[in-house]
Structure 1
Amino acid sequence: MYIPTQTSNGPQASLLSIATAVPPHLLTQAEAARVARDVFSARYPDFGRLERVFATAGIAARHLIRPVEWYLEPRGWDERTESYLDGACDLFVDAAQKALATANCTAAEVDTIISISSTGIATPSLDARVHSRLGFRPDIERVPVFGLGCAGGVQGTAIAGRLARARPGSTVLVVAVEICSAAFRLDKLTKANIVATALFGDGAAAAVVRTGGAGFARIEGAGEHLWADTLGIMGWSVDEVGLGVIFDREIPPFARENVGPAIDGILARIGVGRDSVGRFVCHPGGAKVVTALEQTLHLEQGALDHERAVLADHGNMSAPTVLFVLDRVLREGLPERTVMTALGPGFTCGCLSLARAA
């Protein structure tokens, strides 16, 4: 039986704040293309044909946790993991502190923390590693979530809403942090790896969720659609060197054909009328994906302008990216109803409906 995140009865979970963070090293797309050409062209005969993805991806620049030169040396699991942990913890703290400050909340007031990340392995998890730096209480409840990939920002916020409603008055902090550059590989001479070097960047986003508190939006409901027999569309491969990206099927055509009906089904289950949605906030996986989403959602061409702007400025940062988009839409002014959506490994579509606070 489907149970919506929100119902008409009981307390409403609200988003009190949202914040974003990026690492210090800026990589322009022109520089990324030059580096990729130097690294791959002599060893991968098909690179010339694939090189145009750097120009067509809709990306002007990205931020990385290390200077680009760091990625040009062979790196194994140990170095990649060390880099992931350092970068992810710094971004976690940055995004969390900004979100808490905007919500006029201290770390000591946080009852539950949800940490979303799929680009590295951390045990103890990231929330434990930053516990002292942020000043969380000893009795804080930690909910680390791994494996949702690009869908993590939407699904993590949905989880935060459910947990906030389960304990009215409690404060939930959700932090999505991804170090996609940890998967940059010199040894992978594949189309998927070339595309990954043209798309991915690093970043983090955080949000504070609480019941009964003043916020900018109420979480109305959420849902997920998982397509059968689609494991090969998107994900990670794992070997002795590290993570390798999987793009085994064309995502834009799949999205164009399937995402609209899936979102319609989710909205129907949570009692949200499609005609009442003032703005879709979508994860911009790439320029072609954004266009496919406009088509499958029957939006005007160019309607997903903030998605394209985030993609241009930051690339695809996986889970946090959709929250970057929401942040820009919020600054412009939320419509009465906003629906967030993101695609992720599985292959899955996450969806969350927000009602603007009165």
Structure 2
Amino acid sequence: MFHPGHRARRRPGGLPQLTDPAATRLAGVGTAVPETVYTQRQLLDMLAVTDPRVRSVFLNSSIEQRGLTLPTVGPDGAPVPESQGELLRKHTEQGLALGRAAIENCLADAGAQLSDVRYLCCVTSTGFLTPGFSALLIKELSMDVSCSRLDVVGMGCNAGLNALNAVAGWARSHPGELALLVCVEVCSAAYVFDGTMRSSVVNSLFGDGAAAVAVTAAADDEEHELPPGPALLHFSSRIIPEAVDAMRYDWDDQHGKFSFWLDPQVPYVVGAHAPGALEGLLHGTGVLPSDINHWVVHSGGKKVVDSVRINLGLTRHDVRHTTGVLRDHGNLSSGSFLFSYQRLAAEGRAAPGDLGVLMTMGPGSTIEMALARW
């Protein structure tokens, strides 16, 4: 986040030099997916889909496989229908397992312990729990009962960056202490199997998974101990009110349960507004779009990723981690961008001084962005 008096300066080489000694940094990242993985063709066979239009949606999604927690198969070979209560129990049980694994992997990557965590923020959009995942995970992991916490529920695929903004704010006001953001999405707890195109678009796209990222700001006397991850310099949000109904998770009277709805025009609406969202993020920083070295974009689906890429003038290489996550896991909702960030971090190509943009898209319709510097 930029502070009063913060400025971006141009070096002789033309790249901006951004300075913010109070910036928060990403100190580690971890992910988790179910052990049960299905290819798109396996899912089509399991659902006995013969409609060529539906088969085309699955097979032209740029998704090869996804981790899912599906119901048992009945005598007819089809998944046994699940009640809303059964879906919520699956959301809770599988969410706790995935969330725990993501946290443990994240802390290992950060070189930290559970006892180091002073703030826990949990994000989910695939079920409703009270108490939420933050309280349940603190109990599950025997974390310090004085750990501050926050639950972000129902914001959708963009919510990871909304929550990261809040987590970064907490870390900045508590220098030297460790905060965790955990995105837990059990998308198979929101599936409806009815063969309609509405349900098929959702069923062809989403996967289960959890992702966690550790965030910290160094105390004044600990600047030499800053983690190697990027500093979070600035966040921005752009809502598209005229597309408020384009992405929904609401009650389906016909099936007596909640279900997703995605308007076919979503990719084009998001793509068309992406340049304006980027302009808002970079306004006043001195940073040009051409200065950005790395892009971490939500794996929303083939069409939305292509639309964003084309409208922002990005290359396929720029979104390689986004498309790789989509290929291997599908759309993981709020945690997708952290899966992409993990791949970028593992690649080891980000150099000190490099700039990056984190971008998520979701209901509202909304585009969230963050500017980062390694």
Scaled by the length of structure 1, the TM-score of the pair is 0.91
Question: Counterpart in 2 of 1:255?
Answer: 270
Q: Is the 8 A contact 1:171 1:208 kept in 2?
A: yes
Are residue 25 (structure 1) and residue 18 (structure 2) matched? no
How far apart, CA to CA, are the structure 2 residues paired with 1:141 and 1:301? 40
Matching residue within 320, 328, 338 for 1:323: 338
Task: Give RMSD over aligned pairs.
Answer: 2.0
Aligned counterpart, 2:209 = 203
Q: 1:233 to 1:104 in 2, by over 3 A?
A: same
Matches for 1:75-224 after TM superposition, within 5 Å? 75-187=82-194, 189-212=195-218, 213-224=226-237
Measured in 1, the distance between the counterparts of 2:105 and 2:192 equals: 32
Work out which of the residue numbers 354, 357, 363 in structure 2 matches 1:345.
363
Q: Which residue of 1 aligns with 2:46?
A: 35
Match of 1:305 among 320, 323, 342: 320
Q: SS at 2:157's partner residue?
A: helix
Q: Distance in 2 between matches of 1:190 and 1:231?
A: 23
- Structure 2-normalised TM-score? 0.87
- Deviation of 1:32 after TM superposition, in Å, equals 1.3
Partner amino acid for 2:370? L
Aligned residues with identical type, % of pairs:
27
C-alpha deviation, 1:229, in angstroms: 2.5
Q: 1:59 aligns with which of 60, 63, 67?
A: 63
Pair 1:334-2:350 in alignment? yes
AA at the equivalent of 1:130:
L
**1: CA distance between counterparts of 2:93 and 2:141?**
15
Q: Contact between 2:181 and 2:214, CA under 8 Å: does it hold in 1? A: yes
User: 3-state SS of the aligned residue for 1:111?
Assistant: strand
Secondary structure class of the residue paired with 2:333 = coil
The whole-number CA distance in structure 1 between the counterparts of 2:329 and 2:110 is: 25
CA distance, structure 2, for counterparts of residue 292 and residue 186 of structure 1: 28
Matched pairs, number: 346
Q: Residue 302 of structure 1: CA displacement? A: 4.8
Aligned residue for 2:241? 228
Q: Alignment partner of 2:146: what SS?
A: coil
How far 1:242 moved relative to its partner?
Answer: 2.3
- 2:28 corresponds to which letter in structure 1? S
Which amino acid is 2:55 matched to?
A: E
* Residues in 2 aligned to 1:280 and 1:216: alpha-carbon distance in whole angstroms: 15
From the CA coordinates, give the structure whose radius of gyration is larger: 2
Deviation at 1:276, TM superposition (A): 1.7
Q: After superposition, what is the alpha-carbon deviation per residue over 1:112-132, rounded to whole angstroms, capped at 9, x for unaligned?
A: 101010100111111211213
SS at match of 2:73: helix
- Relative to structure 1, is the Cα distance of residues 255 and 134 closer, same or farther in structure 2, using a 3 angstrom cutoff? same
2:26 matched to 1:15?
yes
